[in-house]
Structure 1
């Protein structure tokens, strides 16, 4: 019957219930106080009535709040979250009118608006599809052309961060450390020569020859640095090297020219979420106790400016140097035979630390995975002092603490499909987490949570969730 009433009438009935309940509690309290006046006197009777009325009003307020929370506040929160999902992701989750059956026309109106927005988004996607395909074809042609040129080329920002690298550069940089978009070139080569070449280019505006030496020695590369036309930054071409560059297998260009517009390095706390670099990772382990169990796999992807950088992945099995329990193998499918000959945790963790250099670490239930890594920090000779985001807490900020925040539940909510073969593999779960983060960033921005510092402030309100998980 209540479902057929208007929203205004239902709210009016809430207030009527408060008024009626309050009057009833007061009358009952006065009556019972009056009954006790013969034994304790008038003052004692009124005192008893006041105490009884106070407890009665508190109980009445709690009961009405529970009704309001269950039938009004929570449904509004859920409808808002679903609308945000529809607005900022590819999910086509329907807004169930039964979810907000006591909110009048709100749920149907929200569903209609979401459907219209979804239709508009589909039309826009269709219009962009042809342009995207054309750009992809042009990029493939350029990739093939650059692959045939036995010279490695890299575009750098004014701060000497990597904006673009081709397949040849990827081969070259990989001999020093894993190629990473938006990573400082000083992570690969001695900074002194780079700084001198940059200063000379800035002073003369002409190309400058230099010889770059890898940080740990062992590789010297003659290079030519020249200024970019019409943009702040540099084109660096590596010429003959001590090793032969492979031109047999074409590799896609990796680039983001928006990085050229990044002026200086703001504090992480003040940097918009959409402009940060992330290393999204997951681990598989021999068990659930970080103080005694060990890592058997690390998988990670990098995200730059809100998108996953294809081709930049870290994926390695890890030899725990102990038998893997069959109960754990049943979950992630990793056996003793698979990790035989794999790197130990020290080598693997060092590699991942380098891969995540300069990035915000992101994981689903991050304290669990970080506890395993930090236990080995001293042996690895590294510090895990990266800024950290946790998608469990981000989900609580967006959808409310009362929702389910497992990775599967969040992916279902956002319309993200995890292939069965990828579930409970480190790289597969890392990719799912990265896709979740890519959806959540515009949703957070729509709520006014735009910088890393702001999102940390919001997630701290839900820290209890992680305590319960761990």
Structure 2
């Protein structure tokens, strides 16, 4: 139990024990001295001496503890977190040794290890870059071949979740809702005809045709389900005429074939971090009061299996229904003219709610942003019951509560760059937070936190940080 406590707390308890022991020894010594003196008139003098000694002892222990905490415990925690960042999050550069000057040879030794690790990582990165270039070339060739085929195509796993979609399929799905990897196909299409067709495909092993309506019910789509050979799942092809596909349109691919073997849904707390889908978002608002100010912009990025899914972003201007103060516009650059004609919070909130379906919502200081959304939940017609992860609290778990946990500080610590033009824009800050999350996840796993529940249990210990922020 004692070993599960943080280093700083263990040191505090050690000095507390020293203080209690010192007071006990002092009290015992003065009591024995008083009885041996056999002079009742000296009682006040002994009591005064005991109190004076006790306060002096407490002051001395507290002072030594503060010095030890500031010059030993905190630097050790900072050094450990910086080494983890380099070992598990790919952070480069020298360690900050200025705060560790009282740790003897530990800091230079850590710097030497970090240097060797960086050299090894550089060699690995070069090999990965070469392999990535090869795979990118193969993907370009595949994209070029697919462009010659006038059809929209997606691949789904046996649970009817999207594993791959091309640009044309994305356009079809976007007629209903934003396309998302690992989303259920039934978020977009009526499930009954597709389940029946898939059952027939499993029985016969041959291509099956069916017609399914979009979940909005406005349009029907002629579909073909094709088997994937020995691989699990199936290919879904939209009829070109129904989908209104331009045969010469480019065909970018979004995919993650590991999703073919993803197990079924489990309680979020029991799911591995590596299997989770995160939707990282940020808002820009008319002011800092969630009970009366309004959202003017929502930006969101999807992170799946520890990586950002390029192309799966949400960037919406929102009509707040009230004037945007000039002071707020100077920060986020959103003006009244820009939001004129934009959807209101009810429509924008529903779009974001669908985008974040079956995902963990992530934000930096999440209570602030979620307060705006929850205030309008009734108008949106949705319930904000998603699991929430706050990168402020994750930062406190990884780097210690005494560090600075602003988004800028986290980006500096983890080597994430926010382009100046995108700072204080909803999508720019959401993207930066997503990059931070992708670096924090392996650091959490390296500390033994494998499931979402493990992380939430640790973040709850630092809830006071959010109270102070808000």
Cα deviation per residue 1:436-466 (whole Å; 9 max; x = unaligned)?
A: 0000000100011111101000000000000
Shift of 1:62: 2.1
**In 2, distance between residues paired with 1:447 and 1:376?**
38
CA contact (8 A) 2:71 2:99 kept: no
Shift of 1:50: 4.6
Q: Which residue of structure 2 lines up, in the alignment, with residue 4 of structure 1?
A: none
CA contact (8 A) 1:395 1:410 kept: yes
Question: Do residues 100 (structure 1) and 100 (structure 2) align?
Answer: yes
Shift of 1:411: 0.1
Q: Following superposition of structure 1 onto structure 2, how do residues 306-325 of structure 1 map, counting pairs within 5 Å?
A: 306-325=306-325
**In 1, distance between residues paired with 2:202 and 2:249?**
36
Give ranges in structure 2 of 5+ residues lacking alignment: 1-10
Q: Which residue of structure 1 lines up, in the alignment, with residue 6 of structure 2?
A: none
Q: Which residue of structure 2 lines up, in the alignment, with residue 365 of structure 1?
A: 365
Give ranges in structure 1 of 5+ residues lacking alignment: 1-10
Q: Secondary structure at the match of 2:242?
A: coil
Shift of 1:51: 4.6
Q: Which residue of structure 2 lines up, in the alignment, with residue 70 of structure 1?
A: 70
CA contact (8 A) 2:146 2:251 kept: no
Cα deviation per residue 1:175-224 (whole Å; 9 max; x = unaligned)?
A: 11111000000100111112112222222322222112111212212212
Q: Following superposition of structure 1 onto structure 2, how do residues 230-269 of structure 1 map, counting pairs within 5 Å?
A: 230-269=230-269
Q: Which residue of structure 2 lines up, in the alignment, with residue 455 of structure 1?
A: 455
Q: TM-score, normalised by structure 1?
A: 0.91
**In 1, distance between residues paired with 2:463 and 2:248?**
51
CA contact (8 A) 1:93 1:413 kept: no
Cα deviation per residue 1:77-126 (whole Å; 9 max; x = unaligned)?
A: 00001101111233323213332111111111111111111110110111
**In 2, distance between residues paired with 1:448 and 1:261?**
24
CA contact (8 A) 2:361 2:388 kept: yes
Cα deviation per residue 1:300-324 (whole Å; 9 max; x = unaligned)?
A: 0111111111111111111112111
Q: Secondary structure at the match of 1:224?
A: strand
Number of residues of Structure 1 aligned to a counterpart in Structure 2? 454
CA contact (8 A) 2:280 2:433 kept: yes
Q: Following superposition of structure 1 onto structure 2, how do residues 18-417 of structure 1 map, counting pairs within 5 Å?
A: 26=26, 30=30, 41=41, 46-417=46-417
CA contact (8 A) 1:220 1:241 kept: no
**In 2, distance between residues paired with 1:97 and 1:214?**
59
CA contact (8 A) 2:316 2:348 kept: yes
Q: Following superposition of structure 1 onto structure 2, how do residues 415-454 of structure 1 map, counting pairs within 5 Å?
A: 415-454=415-454
**In 2, distance between residues paired with 1:360 and 1:147?**
34
**In 2, distance between residues paired with 1:240 and 1:129?**
37
Q: TM-score, normalised by structure 2?
A: 0.91
**In 2, distance between residues paired with 1:96 and 1:429?**
26
CA contact (8 A) 1:221 1:240 kept: no
**In 1, distance between residues paired with 2:261 and 2:332?**
42
**In 1, distance between residues paired with 2:102 and 2:230?**
59
CA contact (8 A) 2:222 2:242 kept: no
Cα deviation per residue 1:25-76 (whole Å; 9 max; x = unaligned)?
A: 949x949x86xx8996355555555555444443333222212211211110
Q: Which residue of structure 1 lines up, in the alignment, with residue 7 of structure 2?
A: none
CA contact (8 A) 2:162 2:182 kept: yes
**In 2, distance between residues paired with 1:72 and 1:427?**
40
CA contact (8 A) 1:153 1:165 kept: yes
**In 1, distance between residues paired with 2:55 and 2:251?**
73
> Aligned in 2, Cα 1:203/1:449: closer, same or farther, shift over 3 Å?
same
CA contact (8 A) 2:362 2:388 kept: yes
**In 2, distance between residues paired with 1:54 and 1:226?**
82
Q: Secondary structure at the match of 1:242?
A: helix
Q: Secondary structure at the match of 1:421?
A: helix
**In 2, distance between residues paired with 1:384 and 1:424?**
24
**In 2, distance between residues paired with 1:170 and 1:426?**
23
* RMSD, matched Cα: 2.7
**In 2, distance between residues paired with 1:233 and 1:393?**
38
Q: Secondary structure at the match of 2:409?
A: helix
Cα deviation per residue 1:411-435 (whole Å; 9 max; x = unaligned)?
A: 0000111000000000000000000
Cα deviation per residue 1:387-415 (whole Å; 9 max; x = unaligned)?
A: 01011111010111111111001000001
